[in-house]
């Protein structure tokens, strides 16, 4: 169980504004013979809940945008908001992207996207990414054996 909680923690950290990646751990655990379905579940759960932290920060911390420590500058925030308004909540399916995915989840909070809708779309996108990774690297491992 500790292995899966470790993966959950890594995936959670990777989804926040912290610079962290969970993919290498996921693939390493799969190569080590751990259950792919359990790996998928724990990685997806951690990454989605980490994104929920970004949503909450966007929802309740925007009033601090003039502070030095605020993670996004007003100019960049304006650009992201316009992009998000153009593509809407469906852009949350791309919250898994290594560049910009965290900002999408943050902007969703600013735009006051309903949390249940946010959670479902983010879960689908992040779950699909982990499923593809597990499928690709599982298939490669079978080819090399």
The closest of 81, 127, 124 to 104, measured between CA atoms, is: 81
Q: What is the pTM of this model?
A: 0.85
**How many domains does the chain contain in total?**
1
Given a cut of 70, whether residue 142 has pLDDT beyond it is no
Interatomic CA distance for residues 113 and 71, integer angstroms: 20
Given a cut of 80, whether residue 82 has pLDDT beyond it is no
Give residue 108's domain range.
Answer: 2-144
- Region at 114 (left for phi over 0; alpha for psi -120 to 50; beta for the rest): beta
Given a cut of 50, whether residue 145 has pLDDT beyond it is no
């Amino acid at each position: 169980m500790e292995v899966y909680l470790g993966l959950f923690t890594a995936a959670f950290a990777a989804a926040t504004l912290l610079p962290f990646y969970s993919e290498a751990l996921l693939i390493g655990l799969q190569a080590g013979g751990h259950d792919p379905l359990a790996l998928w579940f724990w990685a997806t759960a951690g990454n989605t809940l980490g994104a929920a932290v970004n949503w909450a920060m966007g929802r309740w911390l925007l009033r601090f945008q003039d502070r030095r420590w605020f993670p996004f500058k007003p100019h960049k925030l304006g650009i992201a908001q316009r992009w998000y308004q153009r593509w809407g909540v469906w852009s949350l399916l791309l919250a898994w992207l290594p560049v910009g995915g965290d900002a999408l989840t943050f902007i969703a909070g600013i735009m006051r996207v309903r949390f249940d809708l946010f959670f479902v779309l983010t879960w689908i996108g992040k779950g699909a990414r982990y499923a593809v990774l597990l499928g690709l690297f599982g298939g490669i491992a079978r080819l090399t054996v």
